[in-house]
Amino acid sequence: MIYVTGDTHGDFSRFKDPQMKKLKKNDILIICGDFGFIWDGTRKEKSVLKKIADLGYTVAFIDGCHENFDLLESFPVTGWNGGKARVIAPNLVHLMRGQIYTINGKKIFTFGGGHSQDIEFRRDGKWWKREQPSHDEIMQAIDNLESYGNAVDYVITHEPPATVKDCLGVDVFQRLEVHALFEEITASCRYEKWFFGKCHIDKHIPMKFYGVFNKIMPLK
């Protein structure tokens, strides 16, 4: 079974949630950005990553706005379920921008990254411009979707489409190139459901959009 949840922000207590304890060996949990456990490379952090890798199920995450991209990009890119990914450990995988993975017979399009509203408030001063998707990443996403006939089962992103942000009243004045991509996907691609984590809400926005944060939602 494939499950999806929202941002974890380096908080290991999320994995102690009773919902998480129901996941089994062959299950996959996809985190919609801001994984946050690859941040400072300390011994303590590496110990926590090992605990995550030993959970028994696979944890796969897209990147968000609060990641250390220097550390994240130090892991080699390899193939994983039909797309490019960074395998941090055997049961821990970074799902890359614009890739399409076939998992349990389902085609899943992923696209991480976005915009931080808290850049000037970060006490440690850590911020990477690469949190914002590049034009090349967007073009590769378009090519990958076209190669699948613009049809997937699920879309998983960190940012929501701009129209969904407007509906929620979140960051209505912030627009990135990736928002144009997402609007194009909503108009020209076929998909069953779209999940996003940026807004830190558990909410269904009819018809196909799902904000996820604390809930663990199965993909059916």
**What is the CA angle 193-196-197, rounded to 5?**
150
Per the confidence metrics, is the pTM higher than 0.85? yes
pLDDT per position as a tens digit, 171-185: 655 667 888 899 999
66 or 15: whose pLDDT is higher? 15
Instruction: Give residue 73's domain range.
Output: 2-218
b/e map 151-160, b = 16+ CB within 10 Å: ebbbbbbbbb
CATH value at residue 126? 3.60.21
Does position 122 have pLDDT exceeding 70, yes or no? Answer: no
108 exposed, middle or buried (CB, 10 Å; 0-12, 13-18, 19+)? buried
Phi–psi pair at 142, nearest 5 degrees: -60, -45
Does position 187 have pLDDT exceeding 70, yes or no? Answer: yes
pLDDT per position as a tens digit, 21-33: 899 999 999 999 9
The count of domains in the chain is 1
What local confidence, expressed as pLDDT, does residue 175 receive?
67
Contact in structure between 72 and 86 (CB atoms under 8 Å): yes
Report the pLDDT averaged over residues 72-77.
96
Contact in structure between 208 and 192 (CB atoms under 8 Å): yes
